[in-house]
Structure formats: C-alpha cells, structure tokens
Amino acid sequence: MRHLAVLVLLGLAQAVAAEPARIVTLAPHLAEMVFAAGAGERLVGSVAHTDYPEAAKALPRVGDAFGVDAERLVALQPDLVLAWEGGNPALVIDRIRALGIRVEALPATGVEDVPDQLETIGALAGTPDTAGRAARAYRQQIDRLRAAHRIATPLRVFYQISARPLYTVGADQPISALIELCGGSNVFGDAGRGAFVVSREAVIARDPELILAGGDSSSKDFAQWRELRGLTAADAGNLLQVNADYVARPGPRLALGAADVCAAMDQARRALGRETSRD
C-alpha cells in the first residue's frame, strides 16, 4: 500500500512538471514574454489590454490585472497560469490555485530582470532554446547601450504620461530605469511610486533639461512648455516623444524602449552642446 502511494505521488509530480499545453497569462507583458520565449501557440487566454504581438489580440479575455472571471478561466482548461507577482492581487492568485489550477507567479520585472524571466518561461514551457536566444539578444542590446552611456553627461529628464492632468512616474517604473541606463535621472524619481499627478509649477521648479512624452502625444501635449521661457528643456527645444508601449511594459520590448530613450537623450545633449561621452 505504501509502495502504491509513492507511485501515485510520483505520477502526480511528473504530471505537474509536464510541459503545459494550455497557458493563460494575467498581464499583457507576460503574454509578450510567452510569445518571445517561443510558446505563443500554447497561449489560450489573457487579460484586458493584451495587444502584442498581433496574434495576442485575438486571445480570449479572462478579466484584467485586478480581477479574473473564474468561469471563463476554467472554460479555457489551462494547465498553467502565469501571474504577475506584485501586479495581480495575491487574493486573485490564491483563488485560482484553490480551483486546482497550476499558477506560477513571476515577480514584477525591471530592465535587468526581463531576460531571466524569458528563460524561466522557456524552462516552464519546454522552449529553452528559443527563450535563451531571445534573452541573449535582449542582454546584448541593453549591454551595448549601457556601455555607450556609462560616462554620459548627466541629464535631468521629466517623463510626461499625459498633459491634462499632468501625470508622471516615480523611480519604480521601467521608464525611470531606462532614463538611468542612458545616463540621466528622473526629476520626480524621489517623489513617489507608480504614476501620480504633479503640478506645472513643480515641473518648472525641477527644471528638466529634457521632457519626454509617451503615447500618441501631439504638439498640443507640449504646448504648455513650448513657449515657456527659462525652462531649460523648452529653451533648448528638448520636447521629444518615445513609444509608450516600449517603455511602460516590463517585457522584451524594453530593449526597444531603451534605444528610443537613449537616442532622445543623446539628441537633447547635442541641443545643449553636450556630446555623449565615451571611453
């Protein structure tokens, strides 16, 4: 009887460790990770705002980052759910596990964590070779940019999410890490976490040398700065845009975001008469 129990436990362990055939992700960047790791064909569901790559747009939705519809999730018959630790509420993750569904919670990722998470997903999905190639390519691009800006002239940067209300981000967001990678500092890096509203006067007081705006910013989004004399960024014409999708989600496209941010910061340095320094 004891021998039979051991065999049953071994069988269960092997089943749990088996490569998943049906994966659901609970954050848009995790869906991107699964595709980049070579397991996109096994992804059968995700959450609201999952829109990259193109194939991810057609995935059934089971909720959003804060809540999951248990009926929809169970109907998809996933054998692995990838959750965002620190992004999805712990209660949501616990409820899914209580349904008997395997959940792997991956911590919130920073710029340096992306390749590690790609490799983790590759190991879980049984696609380590594809995931490894994606991780190496990402590391190489980040390493090149870091080396090129290791002793770059420091630059004060304000990142504008929206103009009205005037939203920015704190040091814990990916864009702040990219600004630092490219040799700069977020002027509101010490002011809070996540996204928050700031006043026009607070921005002026911190006198950024570059104002970056994300998303589909138009000339109107820069209007309040363009004619403002005495603001270093405005005087130098350093009102520039970057792709918000690249810099906001902690996934593989952060490498593209890093390239965008570094290019904008190099342009701003030239406008200020400060070439990027290199060994």
Q: Give the pLDDT score at 3.
A: 37
d(CA 125, CA 21) in angstroms, rounded, equals: 8
- Averaged pLDDT, 68-76: 96
Strand order in the sheet with 80-85: 43-45, 23-25, 80-85, 103-107
Average pLDDT, the chain: 89
Question: For residue 218, what are the contacts with CB-CB under 8 A and spacing of at least 6?
Answer: none
- Averaged pLDDT, 28-49: 97
- What is the pLDDT confidence band of residue 276, given thresholds at 50, 70 and 90? low
Residue with tokens 């342009």: 267
How many contiguous H segments (helices) and E segments (strands) does the chain have? 12, 10
Q: Judge whether 256 and 129 are in contact, CB under 8 Å.
A: no
Two structure tokens written together for 79: 């054998």
Give percent of the chain above pLDDT 70.
90
Q: Give the pLDDT score at 15.
A: 42
236 to each of 46, 100, 192, 272, how far by Cα in Å?
A: 44, 59, 28, 6
Q: Does domain 154-271 have CATH number 3.60.21.10?
A: no
Instruction: Cite the beta strand spans of 132-226 per DSSP E.
Output: 155-160, 167-169, 184-186, 195-197, 210-213
- Check if 16-142 and 154-271 are the same fold: yes
Cβ count near 27 (within 10 Å): 25
Distance, CA of 232 to chain centre:
29
Q: Give the pLDDT score at 277.
A: 57
Residue with tokens 């954050």: 27
Query: Structural domain boundaries of the chain?
Result: 16-142, 154-271
Q: State pTM to two decimals.
A: 0.85
Phi, psi angles (nearest 5°) of residue 157: -125, 135
- Averaged pLDDT, 167-181: 93
Given a cut of 60, whether residue 10 has pLDDT beyond it is no
Cβ count near 9 (within 10 Å): 10
d(CA 185, CA 176) in angstroms, rounded, equals: 7
Comparing 13 with 95, the larger pLDDT belongs to: 95
Q: Which fold has domain 16-142?
A: Rossmann fold (3.40.50)
Q: Judge whether 136 and 203 are in contact, CB under 8 Å.
A: no
Give the strand pairing for 210-213 and 239-241.
Answer: parallel
Given a cut of 60, whether residue 12 has pLDDT beyond it is no
